[in-house]
Amino acid sequence: MIAAIIICAVILNWVLRRLLMRAVTQIVRGVKRAQDVDTTSEMQSAPYVNARAVQRTRTLGTVGRVLITWIIAIIAMILILNQLGVNLGAVLTSAGIVAAGLAFGAQNLVKDILNGIFMVFEDQFGVGDYVTTGEISGTVEDVGIRVTQVRAIDGTLWFIRNGEILTLGNSSQGWGRALVDVTVDAHQDLGNVSELMVESAQALMRSEKYARKVTGEPEVLGLESVFGDRATLRLAVRTRPEAQWEVQRGIRAEIRRRFKDADIKLADELPKQQGGQK
Amino acid sequence: MIAAIIICAVILNWVLRRLLMRAVTQIVRGVKRAQDVDTTSEMQSAPYVNARAVQRTRTLGTVGRVLITWIIAIIAMILILNQLGVNLGAVLTSAGIVAAGLAFGAQNLVKDILNGIFMVFEDQFGVGDYVTTGEISGTVEDVGIRVTQVRAIDGTLWFIRNGEILTLGNSSQGWGRALVDVTVDAHQDLGNVSELMVESAQALMRSEKYARKVTGEPEVLGLESVFGDRATLRLAVRTRPEAQWEVQRGIRAEIRRRFKDADIKLADELPKQQGGQK
Amino acid sequence: MIAAIIICAVILNWVLRRLLMRAVTQIVRGVKRAQDVDTTSEMQSAPYVNARAVQRTRTLGTVGRVLITWIIAIIAMILILNQLGVNLGAVLTSAGIVAAGLAFGAQNLVKDILNGIFMVFEDQFGVGDYVTTGEISGTVEDVGIRVTQVRAIDGTLWFIRNGEILTLGNSSQGWGRALVDVTVDAHQDLGNVSELMVESAQALMRSEKYARKVTGEPEVLGLESVFGDRATLRLAVRTRPEAQWEVQRGIRAEIRRRFKDADIKLADELPKQQGGQK
Amino acid sequence: MIAAIIICAVILNWVLRRLLMRAVTQIVRGVKRAQDVDTTSEMQSAPYVNARAVQRTRTLGTVGRVLITWIIAIIAMILILNQLGVNLGAVLTSAGIVAAGLAFGAQNLVKDILNGIFMVFEDQFGVGDYVTTGEISGTVEDVGIRVTQVRAIDGTLWFIRNGEILTLGNSSQGWGRALVDVTVDAHQDLGNVSELMVESAQALMRSEKYARKVTGEPEVLGLESVFGDRATLRLAVRTRPEAQWEVQRGIRAEIRRRFKDADIKLADELPKQQGGQK
Amino acid sequence: MIAAIIICAVILNWVLRRLLMRAVTQIVRGVKRAQDVDTTSEMQSAPYVNARAVQRTRTLGTVGRVLITWIIAIIAMILILNQLGVNLGAVLTSAGIVAAGLAFGAQNLVKDILNGIFMVFEDQFGVGDYVTTGEISGTVEDVGIRVTQVRAIDGTLWFIRNGEILTLGNSSQGWGRALVDVTVDAHQDLGNVSELMVESAQALMRSEKYARKVTGEPEVLGLESVFGDRATLRLAVRTRPEAQWEVQRGIRAEIRRRFKDADIKLADELPKQQGGQK
Amino acid sequence: MIAAIIICAVILNWVLRRLLMRAVTQIVRGVKRAQDVDTTSEMQSAPYVNARAVQRTRTLGTVGRVLITWIIAIIAMILILNQLGVNLGAVLTSAGIVAAGLAFGAQNLVKDILNGIFMVFEDQFGVGDYVTTGEISGTVEDVGIRVTQVRAIDGTLWFIRNGEILTLGNSSQGWGRALVDVTVDAHQDLGNVSELMVESAQALMRSEKYARKVTGEPEVLGLESVFGDRATLRLAVRTRPEAQWEVQRGIRAEIRRRFKDADIKLADELPKQQGGQK
Amino acid sequence: MIAAIIICAVILNWVLRRLLMRAVTQIVRGVKRAQDVDTTSEMQSAPYVNARAVQRTRTLGTVGRVLITWIIAIIAMILILNQLGVNLGAVLTSAGIVAAGLAFGAQNLVKDILNGIFMVFEDQFGVGDYVTTGEISGTVEDVGIRVTQVRAIDGTLWFIRNGEILTLGNSSQGWGRALVDVTVDAHQDLGNVSELMVESAQALMRSEKYARKVTGEPEVLGLESVFGDRATLRLAVRTRPEAQWEVQRGIRAEIRRRFKDADIKLADELPKQQGGQK
The tens digit of pLDDT for each residue in G197-219 reads: 999 999 988 888 888 899 889 99
Residue ranges of chain D with per-residue pLDDT less than 70: 31-52, 85-105, 270-278
Helices G46-83, G88-105: inter-axial angle, 10-degree rounding:
140
For residue F151, the model assigns a pLDDT of: 94
Residues of chain G contacting F140 with CB distance shorter than 8 Å: none
Please choose, from the candidates C145, F101, D102, G95, the residue with its C-alpha nearest in 3D space to the C-alpha of residue E95.
G95
**Residue E237 above 90 pLDDT?**
yes
Give dist(CA D4, CA B86) in Å, integer.
Answer: 41
Nearest to F93 among D93, D95, D239 (CB): D93
Residues of chain G contacting F88 with CB distance shorter than 8 Å: 86
> Mean pLDDT in chain F?
82
Nearest to C89 among D94, D153, D161 (CB): D94
Calculate what percentage of chain B has a pLDDT beyond 70: 81
**Residue F99 above 70 pLDDT?**
no
For residue G239, the model assigns a pLDDT of: 92
**Residue C45 above 90 pLDDT?**
no
Give dist(CA B78, CA D148) in Å, integer.
Answer: 48
Residue G73 and residue G2 in contact, taking contact as beta carbons nearer than 8 Å: no
Neighbours of F125 (CB within 10 A): 26
The C-alpha R_g of chain D, in whole angstroms, comes to 28
Return the percent helix, strand and coil in chain A, to nearest 5: 55, 20, 25
- What's the pLDDT band for A45 if we cut at 50, 70, 90? very low
Phi-psi region of B90 (alpha: psi -120 to 50; beta: other; left: phi over 0): alpha
Please choose, from the candidates B154, A210, A264, the residue with its C-alpha nearest in 3D space to the C-alpha of residue E226.
A264
Mutate to test the interface with B, among C112, C249, C268 (most CBs of B within 10 A): C249
- What's the pLDDT band for F176 if we cut at 50, 70, 90? very high
- What's the pLDDT band for E32 if we cut at 50, 70, 90? low
Residue D199 and residue D257 in contact, taking contact as beta carbons nearer than 8 Å: no
> Mean pLDDT in chain A?
81
G–F touching, 3+ CB–CB pairs within 8 Å: yes
Nearest to D245 among C166, C239, C278 (CB): C278
The chain B residue lying nearest C260, using CA atoms, is B187
Residue E158 or F75, more confident: E158
Mutate to test the interface with D, among F81, F86, F94 (most CBs of D within 10 A): F94
Note the pLDDT tens digit of each residue in C111-169: 888 899 888 888 898 888 999 998 899 999 888 889 999 999 989 999 999 998 999 99
Note the pLDDT tens digit of each residue in C187-235: 788 888 999 999 999 998 888 888 889 988 999 988 888 877 788 899 9
**Residue E141 above 70 pLDDT?**
yes
Nearest to G96 among E101, E109, E155 (CB): E101
- What's the pLDDT band for G42 if we cut at 50, 70, 90? very low
Please choose, from the candidates C72, C171, C63, the residue with its C-alpha nearest in 3D space to the C-alpha of residue C121.
C63
The chain A residue lying nearest B88, using CA atoms, is A89
pTM above 0.95, yes or no: no
Please choose, from the candidates F211, F194, F170, F202, the residue with its C-alpha nearest in 3D space to the C-alpha of residue F259.
F194
For residue G75, the model assigns a pLDDT of: 81
Please choose, from the candidates E38, E72, E278, E45, the residue with its C-alpha nearest in 3D space to the C-alpha of residue E173.
E45
**Residue G43 above 60 pLDDT?**
no
Return the percent helix, strand and coil in chain F, to nearest 5: 55, 20, 25
Residue F154 and residue D244 in contact, taking contact as beta carbons nearer than 8 Å: yes
For residue A187, the model assigns a pLDDT of: 79
For residue F267, the model assigns a pLDDT of: 82
Chains near D (3 or more Cβ pairs under 8 Å): C, F
> Nearest CA of chain C to the CA of D30: how many Å?
29
> Mean pLDDT in chain C?
82
A231 Cβ contact list (under 8 Å, min separation 6): A183, A184, A185, A186, A190, A223, A225, A267, B256
For residue D113, the model assigns a pLDDT of: 87
Q: Number of residue pairs across A and B with CB atoms under 8 Å?
A: 164
Chains near F (3 or more Cβ pairs under 8 Å): D, G
E–C touching, 3+ CB–CB pairs within 8 Å: no
**Residue B185 above 90 pLDDT?**
no
Residue B244 and residue C268 in contact, taking contact as beta carbons nearer than 8 Å: no
Average pLDDT over residues B226-239: 87
Nearest to A99 among B98, B152, B255 (CB): B98
Give dist(CA A205, CA A215) in Å, integer.
Answer: 9
- What's the pLDDT band for E239 if we cut at 50, 70, 90? very high
Nearest to B179 among C95, C154, C256 (CB): C154
Residues of chain C contacting B102 with CB distance shorter than 8 Å: 105
Nearest to G147 among F122, F272, F276 (CB): F122
- What's the pLDDT band for B278 if we cut at 50, 70, 90? very low
For residue F31, the model assigns a pLDDT of: 67
- DSSP code string of B102-154: HHHHTHHHHHHHHHHHHHHHTT---TT-EEEETTEEEEEEEE-SSEEEEE-TT
Note the pLDDT tens digit of each residue in E59-107: 788 888 888 888 888 888 877 877 776 666 666 666 666 666 666 667 7
- DSSP code string of chain C: -HHHHHHHHHHHHHHHHHHHHHHHHHHHHHHHHHHHHHTT---TTHHHHHHHHHHHHHHHHHHHHHHHHHHHHHHHHHHHHHHTT--HHHHHHHHHHHHHHHHHHTHHHHHHHHHHHHHHHTT---TT-EEEETTEEEEEEEE-SSEEEEE-TTS-EEEEEGGG-SEEEETTSS-EEEEEEEEEETTS-HHHHHHHHHHHHHHHHHSHHHHTTB-S--EEEEEEEEETTEEEEEEEEEESTT-HHHHHHHHHHHHHHHHHHHTPPBPPPP--------
Distance between the two ends of chain A, CA-based, in angstroms? 69
The chain F residue lying nearest D190, using CA atoms, is F253
Residue D269 or E239, more confident: E239
Q: Classify F264 as helix, strand or coil.
A: coil
Strands C130-133 and C167-170: antiparallel
The chain B residue lying nearest A103, using CA atoms, is B105
Please indicate whether, in this complex, the C-beta atoms of B222 and C250 are within 8 angstroms of each other: yes
Nearest to B228 among C98, C102, C267 (CB): C267
Give dist(CA A254, CA A248) in Å, integer.
Answer: 10
Please indicate whether, in this complex, the C-beta atoms of B223 and C249 are within 8 angstroms of each other: yes
**Residue B267 above 90 pLDDT?**
no
A–F touching, 3+ CB–CB pairs within 8 Å: no
The chain G residue lying nearest F91, using CA atoms, is G94
Note the pLDDT tens digit of each residue in F230-256: 888 999 999 998 888 999 999 998 898
Q: Classify D144 as helix, strand or coil.
A: coil
Nearest to D183 among C119, C227, C244 (CB): C227
- What's the pLDDT band for A161 if we cut at 50, 70, 90? very high
Give dist(CA C210, CA C267) in Å, integer.
Answer: 27
The chain D residue lying nearest F244, using CA atoms, is D278
Average pLDDT over residues G83-90: 66
Give dist(CA F235, CA F259) in Å, integer.
Answer: 15
- What's the pLDDT band for B191 if we cut at 50, 70, 90? confident
Residue B232 or G89, more confident: B232
The identity of residue A65, as a single letter, is R
Nearest to A156 among E169, E231, E238 (CB): E169
Chains near C (3 or more Cβ pairs under 8 Å): B, D
G220: burial class by Cβ within 10 Å (0-12, 13-18, 19+)? buried
**Residue G277 above 60 pLDDT?**
no
D168 Cβ contact list (under 8 Å, min separation 6): D119, D124, D125, D131, D132, D133, F158, F159
Residues of chain D contacting C114 with CB distance shorter than 8 Å: 105-106, 108-109
Domains (range + CATH), chain F: 2-105 (no CATH), 130-170 (2.30.30.60), 176-262 (3.30.70.100)
Lowest-pLDDT range, A21-30, B139-148, C38-47, D7-16? C38-47
Residue C175 and residue C240 in contact, taking contact as beta carbons nearer than 8 Å: yes
Q: Which H helix or E strand runs over D210?
A: helix D208-211
Residues of chain C contacting B236 with CB distance shorter than 8 Å: 153
> Nearest CA of chain C to the CA of D216: how many Å?
22
For residue F32, the model assigns a pLDDT of: 66
Neighbours of C23 (CB within 10 A): 13
Please indicate whether, in this complex, the C-beta atoms of E96 and A91 are within 8 angstroms of each other: no
Average pLDDT over residues E193-205: 90
Residue D232 and residue D277 in contact, taking contact as beta carbons nearer than 8 Å: no
> Nearest CA of chain F to the CA of D26: how many Å?
30
**Residue B38 above 70 pLDDT?**
no
Residue D236 and residue D181 in contact, taking contact as beta carbons nearer than 8 Å: no
Give dist(CA F259, CA F254) in Å, integer.
Answer: 9
Residue A57 and residue A28 in contact, taking contact as beta carbons nearer than 8 Å: yes
* Residues, chain B: 278
Please choose, from the candidates A194, E92, C3, C213, the residue with its C-alpha nearest in 3D space to the C-alpha of residue G92.
E92
Average pLDDT over residues A99-108: 69
> Nearest CA of chain C to the CA of D204: how many Å?
14
A122 Cβ contact list (under 8 Å, min separation 6): B144, B146, B147, B159
Q: Give me the sheet containing D219-227, strands edge to edge.
A: D176-185, D230-239, D219-227
Note the pLDDT tens digit of each residue in A216-273: 899 998 888 887 778 889 999 999 988 889 999 999 988 988 988 888 888 877 654 4
Average pLDDT over residues G108-125: 87
- What's the pLDDT band for G122 if we cut at 50, 70, 90? confident
Please indicate whether, in this complex, the C-beta atoms of C154 and B238 are within 8 angstroms of each other: no
- What's the pLDDT band for F65 if we cut at 50, 70, 90? confident
- What's the pLDDT band for E37 if we cut at 50, 70, 90? low
Residue G190 or C55, more confident: G190
The chain C residue lying nearest D139, using CA atoms, is C278
Please indicate whether, in this complex, the C-beta atoms of D155 and C239 are within 8 angstroms of each other: yes
Residue A46 or G31, more confident: G31
Please indicate whether, in this complex, the C-beta atoms of G270 and E269 are within 8 angstroms of each other: yes
Q: Classify D159 as helix, strand or coil.
A: strand
Please indicate whether, in this complex, the C-beta atoms of B154 and A179 are within 8 angstroms of each other: yes
Strand partners, F179: F236
**Residue G45 above 50 pLDDT?**
no
Model ipTM value: 0.80
**Nearest 5 degrees, angle CA F136-CA F138-CA F143?**
95
CA distances to A113, A138, B115, C164, F90 from B160, in Å: 17, 18, 12, 18, 48
Phi-psi region of G85 (alpha: psi -120 to 50; beta: other; left: phi over 0): left
B–G touching, 3+ CB–CB pairs within 8 Å: no
**Residue E169 above 90 pLDDT?**
yes
Give dist(CA B201, CA B206) in Å, integer.
Answer: 9
For residue G150, the model assigns a pLDDT of: 94
Q: Number of residue pairs across A and E with CB atoms under 8 Å?
A: 155
Please indicate whether, in this complex, the C-beta atoms of G159 and F174 are within 8 angstroms of each other: no
